[in-house]
Structure 1
Amino acid sequence: MSEIIASPVASGIPARIDPLSASNISPARVRQRRALLVASSDIRHLPAMRRFAVGTLTLWGLPAEFTSDAELIVGELAANSALHGRSDLTLLLVVEAGAVHITVTDSGMRARVPARRPCADPEERGRGLEIVKALSRRVRVVRGRSYHQVRAEMDLPGSESDSYAMPVAS
């Protein structure tokens, strides 16, 4: 089954946001926002997952520099999940406590994991989680009996530990 279900959920904001007024929202003052995307574990869904993340974070008023890093994180985590998980995977975006949490969960390892083979070009594969760690404040990996979850935390622009500081007008 090849299906994508998207459900943006926002706490304390209208269900429909005017993109023009969204740019006036100060990300540092947001209490909590959530967006959820459920897709079958199929690499063909990766572009849609990246677009969902960028579109959602843009509507929430986050700057392009931030959303491009988030897009890279989503792409890496979702690709790993699609390649190594079974059936469905979920992408959860949460803004809270000065951070954006990007969580990708899948239904665990496939019954038979293919053996690792040396890549023809070692520079091309195997760097995804390292990229995610470099772009994130914190990365947490949880393996349960029937699921595998990776959560990356990025500082929210305007927060105290912000690496995406907005220029201050003088």
Structure 2
Amino acid sequence: MVTSVLLQTSRRSSAQLADVPRARHFTTSTLGAWGLSADTVDSAALVVGELAANAARHGGAEMILTLRLDGRDLSIRVLDRDFTGTPTADAVPDDESGRGLLIVRALTDAVEMSTGPDGTAVTARLSTEQG
């Protein structure tokens, strides 16, 4: 029988563009400590940067970044306090802005978006490699 080890941590911060580098650093240091490969850590840092920047631009005063590793499955969730609706990925590759969710989708296996009583959450999932 194979069992997986569940690791999870969260970081609460203001939803400001100045907090985006801190969110990326939190991600790289956490996933490095969890023993994930450099490629996985780099992809996750890009995903977090895009999701945190979206939260800072559209999400209100606060965001919560949650990293969860269940076996080889990494989940990255950014929750912000935007209640205006579920985000969309309507940009096309030639647009000068608005491509964040397109980038996230290209780097991950799945992306889920929802708006509920706690705000708007975007969860990205990707398979990992051990370092």
Q: Equivalent residue for 1:57?
A: 31
Aligned with 1:44 (options 18, 43, 51): 18
Q: Report what 1:101 is aligned to.
A: 75
Segments of structure 2 that go 5 or more residues without pairing to the other structure are: 85-93
Question: Which runs of at least 4 in structure 1 moved beyond 6 Å after TM superposition?
Answer: none
User: Quick one: which amino acid aligns to residue 124 of structure 1?
Assistant: E
- 1:108, CA displacement in angstroms? 1.2
SS at match of 2:67: strand
Query: 1:20-169 residue pairs with structure 2 within 5 A?
Result: 30-109=4-83, 123-157=95-129
1:11 corresponds to: none
AA aligned to 1:151 is: T
Cα deviation, residue 30, structure 1: 4.9
Distance of 1:84 and 1:138 partners within structure 2 = 22
1:74/1:102 contact within 8 Å kept: yes
Q: Which runs of 5+ in 1 are unaligned?
A: 1-28, 111-121, 159-165
Where 2:48 maps in the other structure, the secondary structure is helix
Counterpart CA distance in 2 for 1:141 and 1:31 is 26
Give, in whole Å, the separation in 1 of the partners of 2:15 and 2:38.
Answer: 28
Shift in Å, 1:97: 4.2
Point out the structure with max Rg over C-alpha.
1
Structure 1 residues 4-30: Cα deviation after superposition (integer angstroms, max 9, x where no partner): xxxxxxxxxxxxxxxxxxxxxxxxx75
The two structures have a TM-score, normalised by structure 1, of 0.66
Summarize deviations over 1:48-68 as a string: whole Å, max 9, x none. 000000000000001111111
- Alignment TM-score, normalising by the size of structure 2: 0.85
Report if the CA contact (8 A) 1:133-1:139 is conserved.
Answer: yes
